[in-house]
Amino acid sequence: MNGKGPIVAGERLPLLSSEDQLTDIAAWLQDLGLERYVSAFRDNEIDWEVLPKLTSEDLREIGVVAIGHRRKLLDAIATLGAKASAPAMTAAASVAPGPVEAERRQLTVMFCDLVGSTLLTRRFDPEDLREVIGAYQRSVTDTVARFAGFVAKYMGDGVLVYSAIPRPTRTMPSGRCGPGSPLSRRSAVSPRRKR
């Protein structure tokens, strides 16, 4: 190379043929002292792709009868899996993005509910009460949206609201909700009374 190209050349390495893989498996079995099973692995076409998926039952089926040998093979297979995943995890960690810079903000969390809703359950039919609560929730949602808030959850006659306030606004200098706020002044449409 002339020193100006990439560090890694764009050449592809030849893939191992199935015969080469079986030869590799044979060497692996010899290293384990279990070379007597080379022909069983070859006859059943067990290669590096199939090897991690073998179970004790599979080994018994191909002729690995001795429990000690099956255990030894399963432990060696597990070790191969651990060695193979370690470089992948290391590579993933090296590609991970750096720390993200966080921004600290004020968050207002507010829960509001319909005043006197327990008394309303005695005075109205369930269908009418549902209309009252629905009108109340729509009113709260509209008001919260006007002030760039977010309705997180409706809970019966209650509403959980989130709001991030970077700075006080001209219309709400000291806060978003209080006795004189638009939220407390809004009223729901009154349904028919129970007869």
pLDDT at 103 over 60: yes
Q: Where are the domains of the chain?
A: 18-90, 108-185
- Tell me, what's the pLDDT at 4? 46
pLDDT at 75 over 80: yes
Band the pLDDT of 160: cuts 50, 70, 90: very high
pLDDT at 147 over 50: yes
Question: What is the secondary structure of the chain as a DSSP string?
Answer: --SSS-SS--PPPPPPPHHHHHHHHHHHHHHTT-GGGHHHHHHTT--TTTGGG--HHHHHHTT---HHHHHHHHHHHHHHHHHHHHHHHHHHHHHS--PPPP-----EEEEEE-TTHHHHHHHS-HHHHHHHHHHHHHHHHHHHHHTT-EEEEEETTEEEEEE--SS--SSSTT-S-STTSHHHH--PPP-PPP-
Q: Hey, what CATH class is 18-90 in?
A: mainly alpha
pLDDT at 189 over 50: no
* More confident call, 19 vs 80: 80
Question: How is domain 108-185 classified at the CATH fold level?
Answer: Alpha-Beta Plaits (3.30.70)
Average pLDDT, the chain: 74
pLDDT at 184 over 50: yes
- Tell me, what's the pLDDT at 1? 44
- Tell me, what's the pLDDT at 161? 92
- Tell me, what's the pLDDT at 60? 92
- Tell me, what's the pLDDT at 182? 58
